[in-house]
Amino acid sequence: MLTNRPRGVNDLLPGDVERWQFIERTARDVCRRFNVAEIRTPIFEHTELFKRGVGETTDIVEKEMYTFQDRGERSLTLRPEGTASVVRAFVENKLYAQPQPTKMYYIGPMFRYERPQAGRYRQFHQFGVEVLGVNDPSVDAEVIALAMTFFTELGLKDITLEINSVGSPASREAYRHVLREHLAPVKDTLCKDCQSRFDRNPMRILDCKVDRDNEIVANSPYMLDYLTDEDKTHFEQVKSYLDSFGIRYVVNPRMVRGLDYYTQTAFEFMESGSTLSGGGRYNGMVEQLGGPDQPGIGFAVGIERALIALQNQDVQLPIEKGVDVFLVALGEEASKRTVTLLQELRTAGLVADKDYLGKSMKAQMKAADRLNAKQVVILGDDELAQGVANIKDMESGEQVSVPLSELVQKVQQKL
């Protein structure tokens, strides 16, 4: 028990974590260029926020939240996704009162009580972007372009972008009616959840993993055919901007996305049949959470999924490993001197390390090799007495003797 982690969570060990850092670095770098600033919100929020923000009829709220009572008997929930918290922060901190848009991104852990399997965890991580305060279709395209730029700069190829419009509330009202009529004959044969969704939110039935294969469900009418003129125009413009960016997409009229809050544009990025990222517009959410009527659009990428995609595609990541210089000491005095020498090298900006276990020269050279050291400084008691040290270039094998007073500078020159 003590030495086992809970189901569905992972340790990120040295050696793996560098891949995460590369993904996070790329995300921050792309966001900087799109002038999107970082926001950090709490890991837990009032449970009510997610019920309202994510939607009572979603799988997340119905089955997957980590909800607990704190000592003050408040109901709190570990965040299952990022958008509701970002919108809450937008409202609570009155960011809407500033000139719009407000463009923000986040990177961090999310928690859902799902059945763990490859690519599905109970603590997982998302990089997400939210743009609030503007409804212009060019912003939808820009947000999609940001995600695509991120994937491209990770080194991923063959990412499929699927888009759809799930309409505004007006379109959805009309569509829900049509959908109920279509599904009514099979209502009693649907799964229990869908029977209750039938009245509350029939669009969720289209996304149900159990009933998706039901022929009547699979042949449901398309939301796209019931869009208001305004929604239709918005969708056409989003597509036309994507065309002008040279971003390829497939319209998937079946996509409804698992979260209730989407309006108009919805999109997903797929790789090898798995969803890397999902997003869309959520124009009602700010108001729903007690703010003014302000639109919003965003997406979230699963970082674990992005890592799996990078592995699937055999992408070599530009990860710096090893050290610039490794210190090899022979003798007691020399060994002591390397302690301060190490500090001098590090202060000068070099990645430096040494042996701490009093190993033999051969074992120390092996350690230097294992760490991929570019240079090795060899210091014996005799050299120390003469005020010199040897620098060995590990690539060429060339070795030179330099005065200790110039050592840092010489090592720097050789890198």
113 is in an annotated binding site: no
130 binds ligand AMP (CB under 6 A): no
> Burial of 77 by CB count in 10 Å (0-12 exposed, 13-18 middle, 19+ buried)?
buried
257 is in an annotated binding site: yes
Binding string to ligand AMP for residues 223 to 262, with x set by CB under 6 A, is what? -----------------------------------x----
82 is in an annotated binding site: yes
User: What is the arrangement of strands in the sheet containing 388-393, beginning at the earlier edge strand?
Assistant: 352-354, 325-330, 375-380, 388-393, 399-403
79 is in an annotated binding site: no
Considering the complex, state which of residue 201 and residue 275 has its C-beta at the smaller distance from ligand AMP: 275
Binding string to ligand AMP for residues 291 to 330, with x set by CB under 6 A, is what? ---------x-x-xx-------------------------
Judged by CB under 6 A, the stretch of 196-204, 269-277, 320-328, 370-378 that binds ligand AMP is 269-277
Site for ligand AMP in 135-194 (CB under 6 A): none
Site for ligand AMP in 357-376 (CB under 6 A): none
Judged by CB under 6 A, the stretch of 114-122, 326-334, 344-352, 355-363 that binds ligand AMP is 114-122
261 is in an annotated binding site: yes
DSSP assignment of 346-367 equals: HHTT--EEE--S---HHHHHHH
> In which residue are the tokens 């309006």 written?
263
Cα dist. 267→55, 208, 343, 364 in Å?
Answer: 19, 18, 51, 54
Whether the CB-CB separation of 80 and 64 falls below 8 Å is answered with yes
Q: How far is the CB of 390 from ligand AMP (least distance, A)?
A: 51
Considering the complex, state which of residue 227 and residue 276 has its C-beta at the smaller distance from ligand AMP: 276
126 is in an annotated binding site: yes
> In which residue are the tokens 């517009």 written?
281
* Half-sphere exposure at residue 251, Cβ-oriented, CA atoms within 13 angstroms: 16
- Beta strands 123-132; 296-302: pairing state: antiparallel
H or E segment and range at residue 123: strand 123-132
Q: How far is the CB of 275 from ligand AMP (least distance, A)?
A: 4
Judged by CB under 6 A, the stretch of 111-119, 200-208, 217-225, 405-413 that binds ligand AMP is 111-119
77 binds ligand AMP (CB under 6 A): no
Contacts 24+ apart (CB under 8 A), 66-73: 66/111, 66/112, 66/113, 66/122
Distance, first Cα to last Cα, the chain: 48
Length of the chain: 415
Judged by CB under 6 A, the stretch of 38-46, 65-73, 120-128, 346-354 that binds ligand AMP is 120-128
Total residues interacting with ligand AMP, rule: CB under 6 A: 17
62 binds ligand AMP (CB under 6 A): no
275 binds ligand AMP (CB under 6 A): yes
112 is in an annotated binding site: yes
276 binds ligand AMP (CB under 6 A): yes
DSSP assignment of 240-279 equals: HHHHHHT---EE-TT---S-TT-EEEEEEEEETTEEEEEE
Whether the CB-CB separation of 276 and 316 falls below 8 Å is answered with no
Task: Give ∠ CA 363-369-374 in degrees, rounded to 5.
Answer: 130
106 binds ligand AMP (CB under 6 A): no
Considering the complex, state which of residue 59 and residue 355 has its C-beta at the smaller distance from ligand AMP: 59
Whether the CB-CB separation of 163 and 252 falls below 8 Å is answered with yes
Task: Give ∠ CA 142-146-152 in degrees, rounded to 5.
Answer: 135
Considering the complex, state which of residue 300 and residue 378 has its C-beta at the smaller distance from ligand AMP: 300
412 is in an annotated binding site: no
Q: How far is the CB of 145 from ligand AMP (least distance, A)?
A: 18
Q: How far is the CB of 210 from ligand AMP (least distance, A)?
A: 18
> In which residue are the tokens 């969704």 written?
197
Q: Which of 28, 66, 108, 120 contacts ligand AMP by CB under 6 A?
A: 120
126 binds ligand AMP (CB under 6 A): yes
Within its chain, how far is the Cα of 229 from the centroid?
Answer: 35
Q: How far is the CB of 241 from ligand AMP (least distance, A)?
A: 22
Binding site for L-histidine: what residues are annotated?
Answer: 81-83, 112, 126, 130, 257, 261-262
Question: Residues in the site for ligand AMP, rule: CB under 6 A?
Answer: 81, 112, 114, 119-121, 124, 126, 258, 275-278, 300, 302, 304-305
